[in-house]
Structures are given as C-alpha cells and as structure tokens.
C-alpha cells in the first residue's frame, strides 16, 4: 500500500479528518499557504488565532510576551497550548470535511517553542516541567496525532527582514537572534527520528509564487489523496 493510502486509511479508521500542520518560523508564509487550501470544499483551514492572543479578557498576551520573554513565556505557552488543542481536536464544521489544515500544532508548542524557551532560560525548570506535564497528559488522553507536517523552511535573516517589513507592532523589537533560535529549535525537532508522521519540507526563502507552485505539485500528498 502506498504511503498516502496507508495514512488516509489511518485517518479514516480514527474517524477524523486527515490532519496537516503547517509549520515554519515567524514570517515564513504559513498564513498564505493555509489560505491557498481554503478553496477546497472538503478542507477546513485554521490560521493561528492571533486576535485571541491579543485580547485575553482585555490583555494583549502577544504584546506582553515580547515585552518580557522571561516574565510572560509561561502564561503564553499555556494559552497557546489551549488554543492549539481546541483547533486540533474540535470536530469538523460539517460532514463533508475530510481534511483539516492548521497553522502550527500542539506538538510545535512542546517541541519547538517550549524547548527553545527552556534552552534560553525564558522558562525556569519548574515552569518547564508543568508545561511538559500538560503535554504528556494531553498526548496520552486525547488524539492529537498529525498525519503530515508541511515545513516551510527558511533562513532566519530572510524571515527577519520580512517580519520587520510587515511591521506587526508587537514584533517591532524582536531581534534576529530570536528567529535564529526558533529556526534552530525547528531543525532540532525535525531531525528527531520519532516524528510520528512525515515532514514535507518546502524551501520558503523563495517568492510566494514558487512556494505556491510547490504546494500545487504536492497537493495529492498534502490532502492525503482526498481531492
């Protein structure tokens, strides 16, 4: 049986849509990639809920995070975990949905940003352990499995320039060094042997037109054969 067929079968046996997480550094083009698949009637797409993160009962958690990473990473990762869990496990919006594509994943939070925060001391060990416990409990008790990861791979200098040019106010002071750390964290995560699903890597340093051409080329794989 081909890889795509066996994955599709696994999602069917699990009675849930084929799950795809679009991963990549800040400014790698994840939102555009997600929008590209919104045209398919059997695909449900979810961008990151940044507006929610900007207004948690009146608090801008994203702004607080970048104002002081050491002070706010713990609260931010908790909230991110909740946001991602809701998106990843919510039932499809209608019975025709066979594929769900979302921006980043619960696994991302655990293996990318939380690891990065631990390494660079934005999290203290007790805080890190609490987040680990949440993740372990979630993984054991809920089906958060992914069927495919699409990794929009970039170089930190390229995405830093994009981030500066787009001018999101919370990110205006984020140094290149932070994007280098996030990049390294992604690379470490994806070099692990125990990913649990295939990682499709796309060179996203290129212009968006070339990235979309690749998405078109790999549509059969990204939609798990559901199109």
User: What are the residues binding ligand DGT (CB under 6 A)?
Assistant: 24, 26-31, 48, 50, 62, 65, 76-77, 80, 103-104, 109, 113, 171
Show the CA angle centred on residue 169, arms to residues 164 and 172, nearest 5°. Answer: 40
Q: How far is the CB of 110 from ligand DGT (least distance, A)?
A: 9
Give whichever of 16 and 30 is closer to ligand DGT, judged by the CB atom: 30
Give whichever of 19 and 104 is closer to ligand DGT, judged by the CB atom: 104
**Catalytic pick from 23, 103, 115, 171?**
103
Q: How far is the CB of 92 from ligand DGT (least distance, A)?
A: 22
Neighbours of 202 (CB within 10 A): 23
Q: Give the Cα separation of 222 and 219 in Å (integer).
A: 5
User: 103 an active-site residue?
Assistant: yes
Give whichever of 62 and 144 is closer to ligand DGT, judged by the CB atom: 62
Instruction: Give phi and psi for 64, each to the nearest 5.
Output: -60, -45
Q: How far is the CB of 193 from ligand DGT (least distance, A)?
A: 23
Nearest to 211 by CA among 31, 43, 70, 62: 31
Q: What share of the chain is helix, strand, coil (3-state, %, to 5)?
A: 55, 15, 30
Catalytic residues: 103
């Amino acid at each position: 049986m081909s890889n795509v067929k066996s994955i599709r079968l696994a999602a069917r046996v699990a009675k849930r849509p084929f799950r795809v997480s679009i991963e990549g550094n800040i400014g790698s083009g994840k939102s555009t990639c997600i929008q590209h698949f919104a045209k398919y009637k059997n695909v449900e797409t979810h961008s990151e809920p940044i507006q929610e993160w900007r207004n948690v009962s009146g608090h801008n958690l994203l702004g607080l995070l970048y104002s002081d990473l050491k002070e706010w990473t713990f609260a931010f990762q908790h909230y991110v975990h909740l946001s991602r869990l809701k998106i990843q496990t919510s039932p499809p919006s209608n019975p025709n949905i066979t594929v769900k594509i979302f921006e980043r994943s619960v696994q991302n939070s655990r293996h990318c940003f939380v690891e990065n925060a631990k390494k660079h001391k934005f999290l203290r060990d007790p805080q890190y352990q609490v987040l680990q416990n949440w993740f372990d409990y979630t993984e054991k008790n809920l089906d958060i499995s992914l069927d495919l990861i699409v990794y929009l791979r970039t170089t930190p200098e390229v995405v830093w320039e994009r981030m500066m040019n787009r001018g999101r106010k919370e990110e205006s002071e984020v140094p290149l060094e932070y994007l280098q750390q996030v990049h390294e964290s992604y690379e470490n995560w994806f070099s692990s042997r125990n990913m649990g699903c295939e990682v499709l890597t796309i060179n996203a340093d290129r212009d968006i037109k070339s990235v979309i051409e690749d998405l078109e080329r790999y549509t059969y794989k990204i939609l798990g054969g559901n199109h």
